[in-house]
Chains A and B, each alone.
Chain A
């Protein structure tokens, strides 16, 4: 059995997940995990699946593309072998933080902030752009990050705030627990 990653990206419409899942089921491919999102009408999904012995990746790709074409959907399919993270280093302990960036939209916002994260070896676990107000050029970026415990919180915060000031944007960084504590019923 081979584990593969299948990604399907394109124009969203009803029946996309059904078309892909039905094709995989008919080929006895087992879906182990999947996630999907829609962004401004564009559909993107990732499936982690196991192929039965003797079934090739290329064949599954062809069958899925054919099924999509039969239903006049506009999506591209990609498939490749599942790659395990083989680093022998234990992942460093981290804490969940949320960085929010608000202000006037400009081309280099995400690049500037994500560079700071990269420089500190901080992984982005989720990144979303939201529209806080109806104004067209307003932006709100929400980075959910895993902040390694070895990163100096204060220095990291000051670097982010400094960048925000440089770009004329309001940047804040807060432990994720505060968002949950305020809105979800769970033990603190």
Chain B
């Protein structure tokens, strides 16, 4: 028999604290769809995605109903198209992106990720064609996400790619200027990208992964915040060690939800279960925010001195609790700080409590990086490349994943608002630090891998 506590606490998490599974992502390998004949490629891609993904949404809804836990997003990740379509021209890459978009719509998923490439040591012609296609490809499609990995702790940072991405991000923004540059919300530049990320925009299915696999991204910032609030009510003198225990225990529960849902979806779809990604993923809804956790722990807002320490403790406690709750942990696994997608973080940038410099500091201890940050539309490409280079360096040196997803909002400047809609939220444009990076970026080449890459 269940105890009163077990029933009440579960109901409370579901009804009042936004407990849900943020995403169930079906990874589909597309390497066997490669063909020099575009029509053959398109036929195979459509057939394979349809074969495995046609039941994804209905099965996720059934499993969600069975356990009473909503699966908010159903998504697909595919092999990096820069490799699958290695022989394609720029225009064929745009067509390939359309094929994927149609398949995503047919399957009823909200996003499909993997229209990207890994170029940390160099760029092949196919990968270059893909990057060149991004402005048009992301403008003419609705549900496709792209990730470009430009660095790693093993290989260093490909500064030619960093330079290229600075220009590309501006071009992508220009191509979707009528929608505040929303194309950039679907494009993220990584270092150390994991091969099994279920979250967008970074989701793709890497080399070495199964043919088809279910990966799950959990949620739960609201649950963590409420758990801390309750503990503080019981004991106003709660120490940070005790708070970390509360976070750890709560992360365990949140992750168990993802694990049980992911396993059941995988079982019903007859595909293997891959990983649970232990990320605290916020949404713009009040009460579902990572930023609010900072306030619960006594900071006026995220951005106040002490924020990096709070985020470090939060991220670590989430990993400790989550790793015991899941059979296989993967993806990004930590706390996200996406500005436009988190009402509290967005408010901190608006009030001036949180700027780009502090955000960069926070990314040294969070799970991803500079995420969903609106910057002025006239930011020079070299400045964007400089921001990317800094962020990639943090990831490379600290052997962690870091990423940049900034949106230079066309025609808008500091203090103006950019709206992206839905889960992508809205953000006030924040200033980019002054100074000129152009001569540095123009050097190109590769920043060598750090000494600690020599592990063999």
Contacts and interface: CB of A to CB of B under 8 A. Distances in A.
Interface string A136-171: 000010101000000001100100000000000010
A144 B1 contact: yes
Contacts of B8: 130, 132, 140
Secondary structure at the B interface, as helix, strand, loop or mixed, is helix
Contact of A174 (B1, B4, B67): B67
Interface residues of A, number: 28
A150 to B, nearest CB: 16
Contacts of A130: 4, 7-8
B1 to A, nearest CB: 5
A182 B66 contact: no
Given A144-B2, A188-B260, A172 B66 contact: no
A43 B233 CA distance: 35
Interface in B7-25: 7-11, 13-15
B36 interface: no
Contact of B66 (A128, A142, A175): A175
Contacts of A170: 15
B7 A142 contact: yes
A126 interface: yes
B66 A174 contact: yes
B5 interface: yes
Nearest to B65: A157
B263 interface: yes
B253 A102 contact: no
B260 A181 contact: yes
A181 B62 CA distance: 18
B304 to A, nearest CB: 33
A36 B438 CA distance: 79
A61 interface: no
A181 B263 CA distance: 12
A184 B7 CA distance: 12
Interface centre among B1, B4, B256 (most CB of A within 10 A): B256
Contacts of A182: 6, 9-10, 13, 253, 256-257
Contacts of B327: 188
B2 A178 contact: no
A71 interface: no
B8 to A, nearest CB: 6
A132 B13 CA distance: 14
Contact of A178 (B1, B5, B62, B257): B257
22 contacts: A100-B7, A100-B11, A130-B7, A144-B2, A154-B62, A172-B68, A173-B68, A174-B10, A174-B66, A175-B66, A178-B10, A178-B257, A179-B2, A179-B6, A179-B10, A180-B6, A181-B259, A182-B6, A182-B10, A183-B6, A183-B9, A183-B253
Given A130-B4, A181-B256, A182-B9, 14 more contacts: A98-B2, A126-B1, A128-B1, A128-B4, A130-B8, A140-B7, A142-B7, A170-B15, A175-B68, A178-B69, A182-B256, A182-B257, A183-B6, A188-B327
Closest CB pairs A-B (n = 10): A174-B68, A178-B67, A181-B256, A183-B6, A181-B260, A182-B253, A175-B66, A126-B1, A179-B6, A142-B7
